[in-house]
């Protein structure tokens, strides 16, 4: 079940919000847990057992870590819990890649193919479970002694499928006592509407453009290949950022406050800045639980490079069981090392526009590699972008340029902090009209986006969700 589907919007969400706000607070987490399990079991009821298994393992793992009298024993329980978590993730997500790679060796060529369906959201809730065990071990949070509360944390449907990755210590107090105010609820509704508009009105449209151009990038011409790459760049941002906004909005409706996951990443002037703004919860997870424990910046340059290599190889692997994702992670490793030790200072002295062009060019190329089925296909597409195509463009590129210009204009507005600039300008004017616009404007805009999104959902059938793959 996806947030931008009519069954979720017209049935599931309405029932959950209504019942949750009617029930006394002491029963709300239990009801929310049931709703989480129903949400996750929709379409794949078998895999809810894997989630329940993860809940039980990590709940009792946290309790056992807390009860151990020595650090050594705590560490043993911690390692065992992490191994179980990562083993489950490895079997379901990476078994196919492992066996497929072994089959390239003649001695193992007879191995049967392995194809295991990927449980939705397993990468996200596994990382949440691992962070919980580590935080308990580090004494950064107390172990949960309420199975219902902990199960609710692991299975929270707003951020279960695509994040943000939420740490237990950040929501523990909210699980025990939430302040559900009309102001918080209203802001959640508006944030959800904005997120749905990003997904339905923008991401879906550019997804169709990418599918068309990527089918035959050489025939599309050089400009057509660039149009397709830019389309996917917009699709993945508005798909993922839109889903994150919807998750945060749903959280507010239920009394939870989740961390911001995107901070206008496409205004970045370097790759380093881009990764401070893109998928923030994942970046900070790897920083806190992998990079810093490995030594971080507290060691020599060679060791720093090794630490960064490990982080980015794992980041790529986290995204999917394909060598393209590992190559994508190594691509960013090379760029980040380069900015850190080689050309970062020279880059900072360039005009802002050139810095931005540099960052976006490298990010666009990275998304081509990220989306490709294999490295060969990625290289073929990039070759078309840089002149391998027989023509500059074909008629399709011209047609789609004319067809998608309204969405492109909306993307430019949505990808830039235009809203923040307008709000700041109106606040500075401090007139009766400006104060009225600050109050009424967001509400009217949200309603308009909601109406347009519903119309698109009812009339359209193209509604993919990219991060279901992860």
10 Å CB burial of residue 402 (0-12, 13-18, 19+) is exposed
Geometric angle at alpha carbon 315, from 312 and 320, rounded to 5°: 135
**Those residues with Cβ within 8 angstroms of residue 182's Cβ, 6 or more apart along the chain or in another chain:** none
Distance, in Å, from the CA atom of 246 to the CA atom of 263, rounded to the nearest integer, reads 15
Distance, in Å, from the CA atom of 132 to the CA atom of 122, rounded to the nearest integer, reads 15
Catalytic residue among 145, 279, 319, 356: 319
Distance, in Å, from the CA atom of 243 to the CA atom of 277, rounded to the nearest integer, reads 16
Two tokens at 395?
């008629």
Are the beta carbons of 262 and 278 closer than 8 angstroms?
yes
Distance, in Å, from the CA atom of 65 to the CA atom of 83, rounded to the nearest integer, reads 15
If you count them, how many residues does the chain have? Answer: 470
Active site residue 319: yes
Distance, in Å, from the CA atom of 49 to the CA atom of 47, rounded to the nearest integer, reads 5
Got the DSSP string for 107-128?
GGTTPPP---PPPTTHHHHHHH
Radius of gyration of the chain (CA): 23
Two tokens at 342?
């080689």
Residue 203 vs residues 66, 206, 302: alpha-carbon distances, Å: 45, 5, 40
Q: Which residues are catalytic?
A: 319
């Amino acid at each position: 079940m996806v947030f931008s589907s009519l069954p979720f919007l017209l049935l599931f969400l309405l029932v959950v919000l209504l019942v949750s706000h009617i029930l006394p607070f002491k029963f709300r987490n239990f009801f929310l847990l049931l709703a989480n399990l129903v949400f996750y079991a929709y379409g794949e009821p078998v895999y809810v057992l894997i989630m329940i298994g993860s809940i039980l393992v990590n709940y009792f793992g946290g309790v056992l870590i807390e009860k151990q009298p020595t650090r050594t024993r705590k560490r043993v329980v911690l390692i065992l819990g992490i191994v179980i978590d990562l083993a489950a993730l490895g079997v379901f997500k990476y078994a196919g890649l492992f066996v497929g790679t072994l089959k390239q060796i003649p001695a193992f060529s007879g191995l049967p193919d392995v194809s295991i369906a990927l449980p939705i959201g397993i990468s996200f809730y596994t990382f949440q479970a691992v962070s919980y065990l580590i935080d308990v071990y580090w004494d950064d949070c107390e172990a949960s002694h309420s199975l219902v509360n902990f199960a609710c944390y692991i299975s929270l449907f707003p951020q279960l499928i695509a994040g943000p990755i939420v740490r237990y210590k950040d929501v523990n107090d909210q699980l025990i006592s939430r302040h559900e105010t009309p102001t918080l609820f209203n802001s959640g509704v508006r944030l959800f509407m904005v997120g749905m508009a990003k997904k339905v009105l923008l991401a879906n449209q550019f997804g169709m453009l990418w599918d068309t151009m990527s089918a035959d990038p050489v025939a599309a011409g050089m400009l057509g290949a660039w149009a397709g790459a830019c389309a996917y760049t917009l699709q993945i941002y508005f798909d993922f950022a839109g889903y994150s906004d919807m998750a945060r909005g749903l959280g507010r409706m239920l009394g939870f406050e989740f961390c911001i996951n995107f901070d206008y990443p496409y205004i970045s002037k370097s790759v380093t800045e881009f990764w401070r703004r893109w998928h923030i919860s994942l970046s900070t997870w790897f920083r806190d639980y992998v990079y810093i424990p490995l030594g971080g910046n507290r060691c020599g340059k060679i060791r720093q490079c090794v630490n960064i290599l490990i982080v980015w190889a794992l980041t790529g692997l986290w995204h999917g069981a394909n060598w393209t994702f590992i190559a994508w992670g190594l691509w960013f490793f090379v760029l980040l090392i380069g900015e850190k030790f080689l050309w970062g200072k020279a880059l900072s002295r360039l005009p802002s526009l050139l810095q931005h062009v540099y960052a976006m060019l490298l990010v666009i190329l990275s998304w081509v590699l990220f989306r490709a089925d294999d490295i060969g296909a990625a290289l073929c597409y990039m070759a078309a972008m840089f002149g391998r195509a027989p023509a500059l463009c074909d008629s399709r590129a011209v047609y789609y340029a004319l067809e998608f210009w309204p969405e492109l204009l909306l993307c430019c507005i949505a990808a830039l902090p235009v809203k923040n600039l307008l709000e700041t300008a109106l606040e500075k004017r401090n007139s009766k009209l400006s104060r009225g616009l600050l109050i009424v404007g967001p509400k009217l805009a949200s309603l308009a986006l909601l109406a347009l999104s519903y119309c698109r959902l009812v009339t359209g059938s193209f509604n993919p969700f990219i991060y279901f793959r992860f």
